[in-house]
Amino acid sequence: MIDQGKTRVLLLENIHPDAVTRLESEGFLVESLRNALDEDELIARIEGVHLLGIRSKTQVTARVLAAAPQLVGVGAFCIGTDQIDLATASAAGIAAFNAPFSNTRSVVELALAEIIMLARRLPEKNAGMHAGVWDKAANGSHEVRGRTLGIVGYGNIGAQLSVLAENLGMQVYFYDTADKLALGNAKRCDSLNELLEVAETVTLHVDGRPGNSGFFGEEQFARMRPRSLFLNLSRGFVIDYAALRDNLVSGHLAGAGIDVFPNEPKGRGDEFTSELRGLPNVILTPHIGGSTEEAQADIGGFVANKLAQFVTEGNTTLSVNLPAIQLPKATGTHRIAHTHHNTPGVLAQVNSILAEHAVNIEGQLLATRGEYGYLLTDLGAGYTEDVVLQLRAMSQTIRLRELS
């Protein structure tokens, strides 16, 4: 059983103070660091840590997880979880949580702002004014009303962007490999090429699966309409940045807004390098799509709450890797959480052990997800250590936790 007063939490990458407050309210011991840690640095810090909180830069690899035998939960205080080795985490009974909805609005608003700014050539006008150049010419400046937006990736962000862009009077097309319902008057494209041929602005909102690496390159840029705009606020590794620069310099593309990069500095103030620096028709932002005070506060509270509930109640609702269950807690009971390999007869074997020791079951809930199962059981007062030892000794057991 984890003693809540001795539960150690390590938060990296300047996670919002609301997360610290929520975790400390449970009596947890919280250490919060400003920067990300590389693999070796994290391995040196993670021994004895029960809960780990990260954002997008820290990589939770198999080596890291192997160095953390007491780790029970990882919180990604962001949307993506591709920086976590979820297969290894699942095999160790470590639950992972993220914030799939909390910063959706922030990313959408940034995308809309950049679309308008690029359509009006505001980056170039702004640079000219700072250089003392007064240029009121309307050449190349457009309203977004009536223009065509192509959204690649129609998940939470893409779908909300679709609705708000349509409210601005844009014609919206989208492409997604999954079968998604079109919202409003948005039109689904059957292929990426179909979208590229009609869109005057293309914006990427794809996830971090390995198959998306480098999928948008010279061939795709060449298919885009002349003088169109391009945005990437999704993942840094999905586009060919050298090809993007070539198409911007040649004038094939009129402008771009880029928020994510294949290699990003570890901390604030570190030097940022990119072949896109210095181009007057490019908006570069330091991976701030979800970095508004509102979004970070919401993410901090949301993910911290999921981690706290997992430790204290065994609640796995919205876990990205373990079966999702929530069992209401009855008074006067003791709860055990059993993560196991999903094979026939596990529940019968658990209950047989409990019956042999005359332990009454007050509440029980089982869920499975692929090759793993997760069982919460509330026991009547009074069970011996032999019960716990026998449950741990089951061949299917991955991890058994006594919660109360």
* Digit-coded pLDDT (tens) for 210-235: 888 899 999 999 999 999 999 999 99
Q: Are residues 258 and 115 in the same domain?
A: yes
Average per-residue pLDDT for the chain: 95
CATH number of the domain that residue 20 is part of: 3.40.50.720
Q: Are residues 130 and 279 in the same domain?
A: yes
Q: Which residue has the tokens 């029970």?
A: 72
For residues 256-268, give the mean pLDDT. 90
**In angstroms, rounded to a whole number, what is the distance separating the alpha carbons of residues 142 and 163?**
21
**Boundary of a domain, candidates 259, 284, 309:** 284
The pLDDT, as a whole number, for residue 208 is 81
The CATH number linked to 382 is 3.30.70.260
Q: How many Cβ atoms are within 10 Å of 273's Cβ, its own excluded? A: 10
pLDDT of 267 > 80? The answer is no
Please report which confidence band the pLDDT of residue 310 belongs to, taking 50, 70 and 90 as the band edges.
very high
- Which of 284, 307, 339 terminates a domain? The answer is 284
* Alpha helices, DSSP H, located in 5-121: 17-24, 39-46, 62-66, 86-91, 104-119
381: in domain: yes
What SS3 class is residue 399? strand
d(CA 378, CA 398): 19
* Position 336 in a domain: yes
- How far is residue 200's CA from residue 66's CA, in Å, rounded to a whole number? 48
pLDDT (tens digit per residue) in 272-289: 999 999 999 999 999 999
pLDDT tens-digit map of 369-381? 999 999 999 998 7
Does 404 map to a domain? no
Strands (E), 308-360: 334-341
Q: What is the pLDDT of residue 207?
A: 87
78 and 92 part of one domain: yes
Q: Are residues 148 and 245 in the same domain?
A: yes
Q: What is the mean pLDDT of residues 311-320?
A: 96
- Domain-ending residue, one of 260, 284, 308: 284
Q: Does 278 reside within a domain? A: yes
Q: Pick the catalytic residue from 45, 287, 335, 338.
A: 287
pLDDT of residue 1: 58
Over residues 163-196, the pLDDT tens digits come to: 999 999 999 999 999 999 999 999 999 999 999 9
Query: DSSP letter at 246?
Result: H
Determine the Cα–Cα distance for residues 42 and 28; give it in Å rounded to an integer: 20
Helices and strands in the chain: count of H runs, count of E runs: 13, 16
Residues 108 and 94 in one domain: no
**pTM: predicted TM-score of the whole model, two decimal places:** 0.83
Specify whether 144 is located in the same domain as 246. yes
Clarify whether residues 327 and 361 are in a common domain.
yes
Strand arrangement, sheet containing 51-54? 29-32, 8-11, 51-54, 73-76, 95-97
Does residue 315 share a domain with residue 241? Answer: no
Domain presence at residue 305: yes
Burial label for 217, CB within 10 Å (0-12, 13-18, 19+), is middle
pLDDT at 395 over 90: yes
> Structural domain tally of the chain?
3
Read off the pLDDT of residues 108-147 as tens digits, 9 standing for 90 and up: 999 999 999 999 999 999 999 999 999 999 999 999 999 9
Single out the catalytic residue among 24, 166, 197, 264: 264
Average pLDDT over residues 22-51: 96
Q: Does 66 share its domain with 144?
A: no
340 is catalytic: no
Examine the residue annotation and report whether 225 is marked as an active-site residue of this protein: no
Active-site option among 50, 55, 225, 235:
235
Boundaries of domain holding 239: 104-284
Same domain, 57 and 82: yes
Q: Rounded to whole angstroms, how far apart are CA atoms 37 and 54?
A: 10
pLDDT at 393 over 80: yes
Assess whether pLDDT exceeds 70 at residue 202: yes
Asked if the structure places residue 85 within a domain, the reply is yes
pLDDT at 83: 93
Give the confidence band of 347 by pLDDT, cuts at 50, 70, 90: very high
Q: Is position 119 within any domain?
A: yes
Q: What is the pLDDT of residue 270?
A: 87
Is 16 catalytic? The answer is: no
Give the pLDDT band (50/70/90) at residue 5: low
> What's the angle, vertex CA 225, arms to CA 105 and CA 242, rounded to 5?
75
Mean pLDDT computed over 241-249: 97
**In a 10 Å sphere around its CB, with 0-12 CB exposed, 13-18 middle and 19+ buried, how is residue 384 labelled?**
exposed
For 79-83, 85-89, 120-124, 232-236, which range has the lowest pLDDT when averaged over its residues? 79-83
On whether both 162 and 274 belong to a single domain, the answer is yes
207 and 278 inside one domain: yes
Does residue 220 belong to any structural domain of this protein?
A: yes
